[in-house]
Chains A and B, each alone.
Chain A
Amino acid sequence: MKISTIVTLKKDVLDPQGKVVSQTLKNMGYENVVNVRQGKYFEIELNETDKEKAKQIAEEISKKLLANIVIEDYKISLK
């Protein structure tokens, strides 16, 4: 089963890279860009057919390694 996880900085944590990207887009003429948050995207192939179990493993992986939950949020999706 394939799982993907997106890790982004929490809303109240300053994301300087996102800010620079946002500013650059505005400089390029995309004046309707309001805000950009930068994050990380992971594709994980799991040897597991049970959806619930896979989700549970993905949760664990995200919490323990992929995201630092003090400052980051994660979003899991199963394929």
Chain B
Amino acid sequence: MKSSVIVFPGSNCDRDVAVALEKFQIKNQMVWHNESNLPKTDLVVLPGGFSYGDYLRTGCIASKSRIINDIIKHAKKGGLILGICNGFQILIETGLLPGVLLRNKRLRFISKNVFLKVMNINNKFCLKYKKKYFIELPIAHNEGNYFANSELLQNLEDKNLIVFKYCDAKGNINKTSNPNGSSNNIAGMINSEKNILGMMPHPERMIDPLLSGEDGSLMFESLLKS
């Protein structure tokens, strides 16, 4: 398994995710946004951060970077792409995932641990969550309020493309367990070909029991297995 973490000016979770990938024996390479070609890779990771200072719209300027053309080619060939936080915002701006991420409902930057329900494990990112459906991961964002029209939401629900939903400690998915106002409590989603996952929570920050927990490890273990 080989991965490429794309580094944009303003990315700040690129090294964290590289540490996580390497911990799980995924051979990683950092790729600068201005490169025109991806190295040979199975997985592309768009990391969290504030690419281009969130100018214009979050992820917008990064979605027009030179490397993006090759990432789109990679996606069309069925290559895996994981977008975390700002990476999710970039995937949305690129059009690789539908919908839009608005500012959090209460206009506050939210940085805390949240509980999530894993809604779909039948994809290469989540196989290992079979043994654990309720997980805890940190979120840290200002624009994570997923918005989609009712038609798209219905389509996502029907096709089972919502991978993570915000819930409370008991697994209840409702308004009070929704930190940012996302439609249907959506925290992460996948495309219908199941090779592109976008999520607001940070799995790379939960890979060590000494530091935080291991609920993120399962994602990297799933990737290694695939």
Contact = CB atoms under 8 A, between A and B. Distances in A.
B211 interface: no
Given A65-B56, A65-B60, A66-B56, A16 B147 contact: no
Contacts, number: 24
Interface of B: 56-57, 60, 64, 93, 99-100, 102-103, 105-107, 147
Contact of A70 (B56, B64, B99, B106): B99
Contact of B102 (A14, A20, A65, A66): A14
A71 B102 contact: yes
Contacts of B103: 16-17
Interface in A1-27: 13-14, 16-17, 20
Contacts of B105: 14, 16
24 contacts: A13-B102, A13-B147, A14-B102, A14-B105, A16-B103, A16-B105, A16-B106, A16-B107, A17-B103, A17-B107, A20-B107, A65-B56, A65-B60, A65-B64, A66-B56, A68-B57, A68-B60, A68-B93, A68-B100, A70-B99, A70-B100, A71-B100, A71-B102, A71-B147
Interface residues of A, number: 10
A16 B105 CA distance: 7
A65 B94 CA distance: 11
Task: Indicate the member of B56, B99, B107 with the most A CB atoms within 10 Å.
Answer: B56
Interface of A: 13-14, 16-17, 20, 65-66, 68, 70-71
Contacts of B106: 16
Contacts of B102: 13-14, 71
Task: Indicate the member of B57, B93, B147 with the most A CB atoms within 10 Å.
Answer: B57
B2 to A, nearest CB: 32
Contacts of B56: 65-66
A61 to B, nearest CB: 12
B161 to A, nearest CB: 17
Contacts of A20: 107
A71 B143 CA distance: 14
A14 B147 CA distance: 10
